[in-house]
Amino acid sequence: MNKFELQSKLWFWWPILAFSVLLSTVGATIWFFWPEVEVTETFEPLQNRFGSMEELTLVPEFHRAYLRANGGTDKIEELQSLRASGVMESRGQAVPFFSLKRRPDQSLTTLKMPDYDLSFVVNGDLVWQRVIAPGQAPQYELKTGSEAEAIGEMGDFFGPIMRVILFGEGSIEGLTPSVWRGQEVIKLDFRSAQVNLLVTTYVDIQTMHPVARVEAFVDGRERKVLFSDYRSIRGMQEPFLVETYLDNVLQSRVILEKSEVNVGMVASLFEYPGGSDTPK
């Protein structure tokens, strides 16, 4: 195993966990349909703009409000691609990244490591990795098993909550009034179709965007994701800071710097070199 193969193994799991959560949340709940975006003023929520707590804890009303907050079904249908860039911080290192997503199930995420670029690519059921280093030929590796499953979540254009609402993939187990850090929220318990794991998300009733997501694993561990630094992007709200904790210990921090939607992407960006399932 050479230097780049070893480093890519060491860097594999924490970027995947952070990005799978980030992309499934941002791509599903708070990236709306606009051609360009620039950060402007902070958002001041309107009182009960989506309904009362009593109304929003009813599943049909929650569906309606959640879709409305994301531009409505027509705008959601028009949303075809996403592009983002920023910085990921973990283990004392800050790594620039950019990510592309193309509907329905393609994604490319590249980490700009100090000595090389590490990319994870999803093209439907085909999942692969690429390492590009100066002065060396690109290295490609097909992913299978648990690694492929972890990366494969990046290819889901819509996250689990939106997939439940739009496609009935998974189920909402409960909607109850709650408070998160002094903020009035809905406690949403749901199961996704991909992973039979009960997930709890706290949704701000004033904006219908998530403020926290908690996952309890069968081995007793707990993963908590916090969404903050929401900014208005032509009237839309995006979290520019996403922090992931494991058993209350900070694992990673993702800071968005720019995002765009419906950007042009060609299918060849996601194709494994040679167009086959066998490395060249």
The predicted model gives 184-210 an average pLDDT of 86
Expressed in angstroms, the distance from the first to the final Cα of the chain is 18
20: in domain: yes
Contact 211, 185 (CB under 8 A): yes
Confidence of residue 34 (pLDDT cuts 50, 70, 90): very low
The pTM of this model reads 0.78
User: Among the ranges 82-86, 117-121, 149-153, 156-160, which has the highest mean pLDDT value?
Assistant: 117-121
- Examine the pLDDT at 22 and tell me if it is beyond 90: no
224: in domain: yes
The predicted model gives 249-253 an average pLDDT of 94
- Examine the pLDDT at 64 and tell me if it is beyond 70: yes
271: in domain: no
242: in domain: yes
Contact 90, 219 (CB under 8 A): no
Contact 139, 130 (CB under 8 A): yes
| pLDDT: which is higher, 16 or 89 | 89
The predicted model gives 55-79 an average pLDDT of 88
Contact 122, 151 (CB under 8 A): yes
Q: pLDDT exceeding 90 applies to what percent of the chain?
A: 43
Q: Which phi and psi angles does 143 have, rounded to 5°?
A: -110, 140
270: in domain: no
d(CA 235, CA 31): 11
73: in domain: yes
Which pLDDT does position 233 carry in this prediction? 55
Contact 195, 177 (CB under 8 A): no
Q: Which of 200, 192, 140, 129 is nearest to 162 (CA)?
A: 192
Which pLDDT does position 47 carry in this prediction? 53
263: in domain: no
The CATH number assigned to the domain holding 37 equals 2.50.20
Structurally, the chain folds into a number of domains equal to 1
Residue 112 structural domain: 3-256
Q: Which phi and psi angles does 84 have, rounded to 5°?
A: -140, 155
- Reading phi first (left if > 0) and then psi (alpha if -120 to 50, else beta), residue 185 is in beta
Which pLDDT does position 79 carry in this prediction? 81
